[in-house]
Amino acid sequence: MDKADVLILGSGGAALQLAGKLDAEKNVIIITKSFMDHGNTSLAQGGIAAAIDEKDNSLFHFMDTMTAGRFVNNHQAALQLTIEGPAVIRELIKSGCAFDHDAFGKLTLGKEGAHSLNRIVHGGGDQTGKILMNCLKTVLPPNVKVMEHHFAFELLINVSGHCYGVRTKDKQGNVQTFHASHIVLATGGCGQIYSCTSNAETATGDGMALAYFAGAELADMEYMQFHPTLLYINDEGKGLISEAVRGAGGILVDEKERRVMKNVHPLLDLAPRHVVSQTIFKQRQQGHEIFLDIRGIEHFTKKFPFIAKLCMSEGIDVSEGFIPVAPGCHFSMGGVKTDTVGRTTIKGLYAIGEVACTGVHGANRLASNSLLEGLVFAKTLAHHLNTTAPYSHKDDGIHKKNLPSDYTLPVRTHLQKRMMDKVGIFRDIDNLEAQQKWLESFSLNRWHTFDIGMLTTEQITTLFMLQTAWLVTNSAIQREESRGGHYRLDFPAERMDWRNQQVIQKRIDEKRKLHEPVKT
């Protein structure tokens, strides 16, 4: 059994920022299920939003964040994000992060959907995530040990309900136990529960399912952001085409070169993401093909080298000026409920980055606020853990039941396709309930009682996707209105009586009622 002061699950931007800011005398272990940089952060093209321009102000950034979030954001979290953003960018620059500058040595600031000003910092054109990861990896101190290919499949919870450790499986299937004073979920999102997604293969909702099985509260799971422009070929999403392309002048058109966003929203192609995604989805349903017309962007390949390469690898010649696009699942605004420090409802367990839900994004995340979220809240949590005495949570030696022989799990592609069709951009009660029934046919209310370490990591991943899909579906059933990333055809408007209600889910012991959603 290994011991640490702080155990971090996941190895994206939030995880590395936290690890790098913890005191040097702390014994820190990062556990990650794949290679260190095989997560969503490395794929991030868009950039990091922060009010660093002299014409800008954190309050403008705050207002844009609230407007995109349809005003249900946690105000304190949104203020923390936008006020602390500029300092985080300055720290990264100081530690050598190679953000893009203009010919006069000034930071280049891009514009993306629903931002009132240019405030997006990029690296390598469209390779901000990669640049950020390289920087954070380089400055990792020696007290941080990274264990790749360790899949965390169980959070250890004692009879007092405190989290004191984790069980993992390595590549060979060996089970290992880790104990720690503080366990931090930084496992990222769950885009892979949908068949069309911009997310990395590793984004399978692991942290959300782990926390739910452990008895933590999750919030806002119905709010799912669909990015308007994934490269779309032969009915498959092939990767993200950054909103920065529209920021640089790219225009959405149909097969007859008619502008798609004309008369839909005053911000046209840079309208909030849910508006653009819904519009493209409807147009595609009516049989239109949608393209990003990039003919107006000079030096496209130089500005967007990663996207140009991606298109080329899929047989699209960007010099012809049209990229076929469709919306796909991009970001989960919901997650494991935390306060603005990162504490979950389980003592000893914390969450940061996309797996967490501070409420900072409300019903829809503003573009380029996600890397910022990871960086800002990881820094806050580091400060908290650096000033908190180590705590030894008791191990009561609770053991789970052996896995029964009659379990079944879905075929993953079937699960993903069903989520896209029934819990996608447009939702209604019939599809949601059909999906809920189907998901529950896999005995979801029993799994947390079994020792799932007996399954392969592939099977556990499918189970985690199934559980996370259920959380999204069940929350979407609860919210009887449309807001941000949640659109109900049967409740198509925002409703005042829902404005102050958050859908919170928590597993309730089998002696009580299972899966009972709680509205606050």
Active site members: 273
Contact 363, 258 (CB under 8 A): no
89's enclosing H/E stretch is helix 75-94
Cβ contacts of 64-67, under 8 Å, gap ≥ 24: 64/114, 64/115, 64/116, 64/366, 65/360, 65/361, 65/362, 65/366, 65/369, 66/362, 67/114, 67/272
Residue 250 CA, chain-centre distance (Å), reads: 25
Contact 175, 168 (CB under 8 A): yes
Interface with ligand SIN, residue 244, by CB under 6 A: yes
Alpha-carbon distance of 349 to 338, in angstroms, equals 10
Interface with ligand SIN, residue 197, by CB under 6 A: no
Annotate 287-300 with three-state secondary structure: CCCEEEECCCCCCH
Q: What are the percentages of helix, strand and coil residues in the chain, rounded to 5?
A: 35, 20, 45
C-beta of 330: minimal distance to ligand SIN in Å? 6
Alpha-carbon distance of 13 to 373, in angstroms, equals 10
C-beta of 41: minimal distance to ligand SIN in Å? 11
Q: 3-state class of 236 per DSSP?
A: strand
Interface with ligand SIN, residue 199, by CB under 6 A: no
Residue 32 CA, chain-centre distance (Å), reads: 16
Which one, 332 or 345, has the nearer CB to ligand SIN? Answer: 332
Choose the binding region for ligand SIN from 149-157, 340-348, 364-372, 443-451 (rule: CB under 6 A): 364-372
C-beta of 23: minimal distance to ligand SIN in Å? 31
Choose the binding region for ligand SIN from 319-327, 354-362, 367-375, 484-492 (rule: CB under 6 A): 367-375
C-beta of 503: minimal distance to ligand SIN in Å? 23
Among 344, 370, 467, 474, indicate the residue that binds ligand SIN (CB under 6 A).
370
Choose the binding region for ligand SIN from 236-244, 426-434, 458-466, 477-485 (rule: CB under 6 A): 236-244
Choose the binding region for ligand SIN from 148-156, 216-224, 362-370, 436-444 (rule: CB under 6 A): 362-370
Interface with ligand SIN, residue 311, by CB under 6 A: no
CB atoms within 10 A of CB 418: 22
Task: List Cα–Cα distances, 24 to 27, 29, 150, 291, 476, in angstroms.
Answer: 8, 13, 24, 50, 43
Interface with ligand SIN, residue 242, by CB under 6 A: yes
Choose the binding region for ligand SIN from 181-189, 242-250, 315-323, 336-344 (rule: CB under 6 A): 242-250
Which one, 250 or 348, has the nearer CB to ligand SIN? Answer: 250
Question: Nearest-CA neighbor of 385 among 14, 136, 28?
Answer: 28
User: Do β-strands 503-505 and 518-519 pair in parallel, antiparallel, or remain unpaired?
Assistant: antiparallel
Binding string, residues 315-334; x marks residues near ligand SIN by CB under 6 A: ---------------x----
C-beta of 368: minimal distance to ligand SIN in Å? 4
CB atoms within 10 A of CB 397: 8
Interface with ligand SIN, residue 109, by CB under 6 A: no
C-beta of 274: minimal distance to ligand SIN in Å? 13
Which one, 28 or 114, has the nearer CB to ligand SIN? Answer: 114
| Segment 372 to 391, residues that bind ligand SIN, using CB under 6 A | none
166's enclosing H/E stretch is strand 163-169
Interface with ligand SIN, residue 45, by CB under 6 A: yes
Among 243, 269, 293, 354, indicate the residue that binds ligand SIN (CB under 6 A).
243
* Overall residue count recorded for the chain in this entry: 520
C-beta of 231: minimal distance to ligand SIN in Å? 12
The site for ligand SIN (CB under 6 A) is made up of 45-46, 242-244, 330, 367-368, 370
